Structure 1
Amino acid sequence: MVGILLMTHAPLGSAFLQAAAHVFRGMPERLEAIDVVADQNTDDVHKLAADAVQRLNDGTGVLVMTDMMGGTPSNCCRSLGDPDQVAVIAGISLPMLLRALTYRHDALDVVVEMALAGGQNGALRIDCRTRI
Structure 2
Amino acid sequence: MVGILLLMHEPLAEAFMTTAMHLFEGEQERIEAIDVKADQDICDVNRMALEAIRRLDDGSGVLVLTDVLGGTPSNCCHQLSAGNKVQVIAGVSLPMLLRAITYRRSDLETVIEKALSGGKNGAVRIDPC
**TM-score where L is the length of structure 1:** 0.96
Task: State the 4+ residue runs in structure 1 displaced beyond 3 angstroms.
Answer: none
Q: Distance in 1 between matches of 2:78 and 2:55?
A: 18
Q: Quote how far apart the aligned CAs of 1:81 are.
A: 5.0
Superposition CA RMSD, Å: 0.8
CA contact (8 A) 2:7 2:35 kept: yes
Does the Cα contact within 8 Å between 1:7 and 1:36 map onto a contact in 2?
A: yes
Give the % identical residues. Answer: 60
Q: Give 1 or 2: higher helix fraction.
A: 2
Task: Give, as a single letter, the amino acid of the residue that structure 1 aligns with 2:84.
Answer: D
The residue type paired with residue 21 of structure 1 is M
- Aligned counterparts of 1:80 and 1:122: Cα–Cα separation in 2: 27
The total of aligned residue pairs comes to: 129
Q: What runs of 5+ residues in structure 1 fail to find an aligned partner? A: none
* One-letter code aligned to 2:14: S
User: Which residue is equivalent to 1:36?
Assistant: 36
Q: CA deviation at 1:80?
A: 1.5
CA contact (8 A) 2:81 2:87 kept: no
Compute the displacement of 1:83 (Å): 2.1
> Unpaired runs of 5+ in structure 2?
none
* Distance in 2 between residues matched to 1:38 and 1:84, nearest whole Å: 30
TM-score (norm 2): 0.98
Structural mapping, 1:1-132, within 5 Å: 1-80=1-80, 82-128=82-128, 130=129
Letter in 2 for 1:15: A
Question: Distance between the aligned counterparts of 2:21 and 2:113, measured in 1?
Answer: 22
Q: Which secondary structure does the structure 1 equivalent of 2:29 belong to? A: coil
